[in-house]
Amino acid sequence: MSMNTEMSAEKNNAENVAHSHEYLTFVLGDESYGLEILKVQEIRGYDAVTKIANTPDFIKGVVNLRGLIVPIVDLRIKFGLGKVEYDEFTVVIILNLHGRIVGIVVDGVSDVMGLQEDQLRAVPDIVTSIDTRYITGLATVDEKMFILVDIEQLMNSQEMALMDSMAIH
Amino acid sequence: MPIDMSQFYEVFFDESEELLAEAERLLLEINIENPDIEELNAIFRAAHSIKGGAATFGMMNMTEITHVLENLLDKIRKHELALTSEHVDAFLAAKDVLKMMVDGHRLGSDVDAKMVADVKMQLSALSEKSGASLSKPAPATAASAPVVGPPPAVEAPAAIAAAPVEVQAAADGLKRFDIELPETSEKDVANLQEELGLLGEVVSAKRADGRYVFTLTTDSTPADIISICSFVFDPDSLVIRDASTPGIPAPEAPAPTPTPTPETESQSRVEIHEEVGYGLFSLPGKENEEEGYGLFAPFTPHPDAIEAGAAAPGDSTTAEPVTPAVTENANPGTNAILENQEKKNLGRRETDKAPASAETTSIRVGIEKVDQLINLVGELVITQAMIEQRSSTLDPVHHEKLINSIGLLTRNTHDLQESVMSIRMMPMDFVFSRFPRMVRDLAGKLNKKVEFVTLGATTELDKGLIERIVDPLTHLVRNSVDHGIETPENRRAAGKDEVGKLTLSAAHKGGSIVIEVTDDGAGLNREKLLAKAQKNGLPVSENMTDSEVHQLIFAPGFSMAEIVTDVSGRGVGMDVVKRNITSMGGMVEIRSALGYGTTISISLPLTLAILDGMSVSLGQNIYVIPLNLIVETMQPKMEDIKTVTNEGLMVHVRGEYLPIIPLYALFKQDTEITHPTEGVLIIIEAEGKKAALFVDTLVGQQQVVIKSLETNFKKIQGVSGATIMGDGSVALILDVPAIIKMGQHNQPQGVHQ
């Protein structure tokens, strides 16, 4: 987990908060991503999951989160990034998307930073495994690029197969 | 402090429904030849409370009909009119109309105006008839038209009460009240003036002695004024005078008593406590202290009325010293129901009896809150189980105290869980109470004589189940009346009492509740059943046991026409009944003897949230199978395993060939056990189909708390939910009907050797 953006985050926070959004940044392989901090409920370690039959392999299964049955998605498998290992350093970000609780497995969580809208750059037309529809923008902080993801759209999308609209098999 | 009336609407609707249900129950019980005055009073009170509430909330259509109803009831209550079955029918019709109106206001559903008008006319006609037949007290009894009558002071309010149109006018029309305040601070006066300003126009004047007098012009009732003032003052210290046109005082206005006597004031205060929200008709009813609803005082001083023996309410209470307690005891069979009625009702009745104990005995709580509590307690139980499990490895010598404490925690947690689960429990009476009416109507329609008895109405069941049991039970009861119980002629011919007996009972048996519908009718005819089944191509044989034969009526599409009664088929939709009950985790059983009757027995788990399950393992995972869907488990021998064209794995059990559904293949899970002889076959049955589910091993039988997968995820085929095991891990609960269906499309390709 890198802490190298801490300074810039503080600096950004100090500036005009009204036009800035706070992002939780996380690492997938060599790339840094950000998602809106307000969608995050908590961050926890990776527990044993209960596998669910006939679901894509990136859906690891479900866990018991204080009595709630919560599905866990491994974004590393979904986007083919990073080494898929599960150890004591594996991090699960628990998202609360309008009451739906979903966990995502990432390589690591780095920081919380405030970004202003004018710091965001549009995504050029490229072919990626994440549909560019779900990328709200790219931001550069300390010469490092952060890919900002609309996590709610992404998680509700058909390709994540987390919703009922998606047919199984 | 502005008062948001909308928050009271729900309370009013709930309460109205309760009152209507109560009134209906009483009406059905009433002895027409010799009606119990207490019961009449109770029906009257119900109508009256609804009228009060409806007027407060401006639901004039309800006010009108309750008003006419009330008038007629009042006459019967005062013996001006003899109760006839015609009246009871009219009252029941009025109840239906009122229910329709409540629904109309609450849910926006349609209100059948014609039906309303019909009922109103019927009630009015009955009232008029009484006026004609008992001409002596005519002026006071004609309800449909404004009344002409003797002493104006007495008659004027009666006229208002009697004419629905004018009631509306009176309720809509403004009235003026003088409110004398006790000595108080300027600030309180200002506050109060503001509050009362919400009701209407307030003019404040300071008197010579420093006290304030408000003149309030409003369409509200004194009770409303008192309830608002009581936020600031002791209502005892208030004096409210109706300063409206002296000729037409509102019927519900309290008698203008400038210096109220303590007893009347305390009376009115109790009333307000009881009817907070729509305490409309509370007035100092000193003439009726015991009942606590001294409304119709204006009627009673009528000289003719007194002559006619229509005792004043005060007299009536003394004349009929039957206390509600006595009535309840006098009729234990169905009055047991009363005790289980929503306790609030009971509380209210008790307060009626003893104004001193005005506290309510129940509170209304949203079901989400209760469910949240149940969830949290469920978590606590799991956490506690985890602690217990972890502490089991500790050395009892070194950690004696810790282990003792954990033991205590275990006990307390289980007690807590039990208490919390009981919150969701409701008495079966909520279901039972709707049947007397249905049976009565149905029996009338079919020209049968049926005595309807309920037993064990106090038995408690989970609210969710209560709601879902209504339909199947309605079906069964209807069937029993329609096809079970014979016509009086047939019964006489069979040497039975003309009156058939239909019993609905509920009782706890172990961890489940057993609900039985019993009739002493014709019973099921084994031969005819078998013949019919054979004709329908069902696999039957002469050797089948009676209970197996009886189960045939649950077969889908098994029409029983000409079998039970030669009229129509008992068993129409019986498969639906069975399916509903099975989906609740319950079972249906039939006991019948030809010529002696039939009992249909439903056994249900106590709650939907908990399931009796068999946990089985498959590789690393644990799955839970609902126990009620398991027929048996077996370890098959090699020779029992059969194939067709080396595919379509089957097992030969007790003369039947059942398809084997290997769960590992269905769920594409890794396991080392891939041949049925190494693992366990679980014979499952759902919707009339059997299959053998092949899993690794049996783990154990346990009760599990059902959690939804769909809350945060989605529906998974073959899985009906999930549960949390003692170690905190998640186990999936199998959806047996879906698995049997999946198995048909997913036959394994031969045996993996």
Query: Which of residues B117 and B731 earns the better pLDDT score?
Result: B731
Other beta carbons less than 10 A from residue B665's beta carbon: 19
Structure confidence at residue B274 (pLDDT): 43
pLDDT at B310 over 80: no
Q: What are phi and psi of A105, to 5 degrees?
A: -95, 130
Give residue ranges of B with CB < 8 Å to any A CB: 375-376, 378-379, 382, 620-621, 666-669, 707-719, 722, 724, 728-732
Residue B360: pLDDT band (50, 70, 90) is low
- Domain at A6-160: CATH architecture: Beta Barrel (2.40)
Residue B315: pLDDT band (50, 70, 90) is very low
Average pLDDT over residues B373-378: 82
**Tell me: the pLDDT tens digits for B694-720?**
999 998 887 787 888 887 888 888 888
Chain B partners within 8 Å of A158 (Cβ)? none
CB–CB contact B379 A67 (8 Å): yes
Structure confidence at residue A70 (pLDDT): 92
Chain B partners within 8 Å of A71 (Cβ)? 712-713
Handedness of CA B240, B241, B244, B249 (dihedral sign): positive
For B6-168+308-323, which CATH superfamily applies? HPT domain (1.20.120.160)
Place of tokens 């009347």: B264
Other beta carbons less than 10 A from residue B180's beta carbon: 16
Give me the percent of chain B exceeding a pLDDT of 70: 65
Nearest CA in chain A to B619: A51
CB–CB contact B712 A71 (8 Å): yes
Report the alpha-carbon distance of residue B391 to residue B385 in Å, rounded.
Answer: 10
Query: Which of residues B352 and B490 earns the better pLDDT score?
Result: B490
Asked if residues B95 and B27 have their Cβ atoms less than 8 Å apart, the reply is yes
Structure confidence at residue B223 (pLDDT): 66
User: What residues does B644 pair with on adjacent strands?
Assistant: B647
CB–CB contact A55 B716 (8 Å): yes
CA distance A38 to chain B (A): 18
Residue B624: pLDDT band (50, 70, 90) is very high
Which residue from A67, A71, A164 is facing B724, i.e. has the nearest CB? A67
CATH pick for B172-288 out of 1.10.3660.10, 2.30.30.280, 3.40.1080.10, 3.30.70.240: 3.30.70.240
pLDDT at B433 over 60: yes
Structure confidence at residue B125 (pLDDT): 81
Chain A partners within 8 Å of B376 (Cβ)? 67
Which residue from A55, A64, A163 is facing B730, i.e. has the nearest CB? A64
CB–CB contact A69 B718 (8 Å): no
Place of tokens 């370690």: A45
Least confident stretch, B107-116, B260-269, B416-425, B679-688 = B260-269
Q: How far apart are the first and last CA of chain A?
A: 37
**Distance set, CA A150 to CA A110, A133, A154, A159, B385 (Å):** 18, 8, 6, 14, 40
Q: How far apart are the first and last CA of chain B?
A: 80
Residue B340: pLDDT band (50, 70, 90) is very low
Chain A partners within 8 Å of B420 (Cβ)? none
- State the Rg of chain A over Cα: 16
Which residue, among B344, B420, B415, has the nearest Cα to B375 in the 3D structure? B420
| pLDDT, averaged across chain B | 72
**Tell me: the pLDDT tens digits for B214-229?**
776 666 666 666 666 6
Give me the percent of chain A exceeding a pLDDT of 70: 84
CB–CB contact B712 A54 (8 Å): no
Structure confidence at residue B517 (pLDDT): 92
Which residue, among B605, B607, B588, B603, has the nearest Cα to B514 in the 3D structure? B603
pLDDT at B153 over 70: no
Nearest CA in chain B to A72: B713
Average pLDDT over residues B374-387: 80
Query: Which of residues B61 and A101 earns the better pLDDT score?
Result: A101
Structure confidence at residue A103 (pLDDT): 93
CA distance A134 to chain B (A): 20
Structure confidence at residue B232 (pLDDT): 61
Report the alpha-carbon distance of residue B374 to residue B318 in Å, rounded.
Answer: 49
Nearest CA in chain B to A161: B714
Chain A partners within 8 Å of B732 (Cβ)? 50, 52
Which residue, among B703, B704, B711, B708, has the nearest Cα to B719 in the 3D structure? B708
- Domain at B427-605: CATH architecture: 2-Layer Sandwich (3.30)
Structure confidence at residue B198 (pLDDT): 64
Angle among Cα B727, B732, B734 to the nearest 5 degrees reads: 140
CB–CB contact A64 B724 (8 Å): yes
* Domain extent listing, chain B: 6-168+308-323, 172-288, 367-424, 427-605, 610-745
CB–CB contact B709 A68 (8 Å): no
Residue B397: pLDDT band (50, 70, 90) is confident
Nearest CA in chain B to A94: B712
- State the Rg of chain B over Cα: 33
pLDDT at B623 over 90: yes
- Contacting residues for B441 by C-beta, under 8 A, at least 6 apart: none
CB–CB contact B730 A69 (8 Å): yes
Q: Sheet with A100-106: list strands edge to edge.
A: A40-45, A91-97, A100-106, A68-74, A59-65
CB–CB contact B709 A53 (8 Å): no
Structure confidence at residue B229 (pLDDT): 64
Structure confidence at residue A41 (pLDDT): 92
Which conformational region is residue B674 in: left (phi greater than 0), alpha (psi within -120 to 50 degrees), or beta? alpha
Which residue from B378, B382, B717 is facing A54, i.e. has the nearest CB? B717
Which residue from A54, A62, A164 is facing B730, i.e. has the nearest CB? A62
Asked if residues B710 and B692 have their Cβ atoms less than 8 Å apart, the reply is no
Please give the biggest Cα pair distance in chain B: 110
pLDDT at B206 over 50: yes
Which residue, among B257, B252, B264, has the nearest Cα to B221 in the 3D structure? B252
Residue B584: pLDDT band (50, 70, 90) is confident
Nearest CA in chain A to B708: A69
Q: Is B610-745 a domain of CATH 2.40.50.180?
A: yes
Structure confidence at residue B711 (pLDDT): 79
Nearest CA in chain A to B711: A100
CB–CB contact B667 A53 (8 Å): yes
**Tell me: the pLDDT tens digits for A48-93?**
888 888 888 889 999 988 778 899 999 888 888 877 788 887 899 9
What is the DSSP pairing of strand B239-242 with strand A68-74? unpaired
Instruction: Mutate one of B667, B710, B714, B735 to test the A interface: name it (highest A CB count within 10 A).
Output: B714
What is the DSSP pairing of strand B587-593 with strand B500-509? unpaired
Which range among A148-152, B75-79, B158-162 has the greatest average pLDDT?
A: A148-152
Residue B140: pLDDT band (50, 70, 90) is very low
Chain A partners within 8 Å of B621 (Cβ)? 50-51
CB–CB contact A166 B714 (8 Å): yes
- Contacting residues for B24 by C-beta, under 8 A, at least 6 apart: B92, B95, B433, B437
Instruction: Mutate one of B730, B735, B739 to test the A interface: name it (highest A CB count within 10 A).
Output: B730
- Within B392-432, residue ranges assigned H as helices are 400-423, 429-432
Report the alpha-carbon distance of residue B710 to residue A164 in Å, rounded.
Answer: 8
CB–CB contact A100 B382 (8 Å): no
The 8 Å CB, 24+ separation contacts for B354-363 are B355/B266, B355/B267, B355/B270, B355/B289, B355/B292, B358/B270, B358/B273, B358/B274
Structure confidence at residue B510 (pLDDT): 65
User: What residues does B339 pair with on adjacent strands?
Assistant: none
Angle between helices B164-172 and B152-162 (to 10 degrees): 100
pLDDT at B295 over 80: no
Asked if residues B706 and B661 have their Cβ atoms less than 8 Å apart, the reply is no
Structure confidence at residue B557 (pLDDT): 66
Structure confidence at residue A71 (pLDDT): 92
Let me know if the fold of B172-288 is the same as that of B610-745.
no
| Predicted model pTM | 0.49
Asked if residues B288 and B317 have their Cβ atoms less than 8 Å apart, the reply is yes
Chain A partners within 8 Å of B728 (Cβ)? 64
User: What residues does B534 pair with on adjacent strands?
Assistant: none
Report the alpha-carbon distance of residue B559 to residue B566 in Å, rounded.
Answer: 12
Query: Which of residues B689 and B273 earns the better pLDDT score?
Result: B689
> Number of CB pairs < 8 Å for A and B?
78
Structure confidence at residue A92 (pLDDT): 93
Instruction: Mutate one of A39, A44, A52, A157 to test the B interface: name it (highest B CB count within 10 A).
Output: A52
Average pLDDT over residues B393-418: 87
Query: Which of residues B176 and A55 earns the better pLDDT score?
Result: A55
Which range among B69-78, B614-623, B636-645 has the greatest average pLDDT?
A: B614-623
pLDDT at B290 over 60: no
CB–CB contact A53 B668 (8 Å): yes
CB–CB contact B714 A163 (8 Å): yes
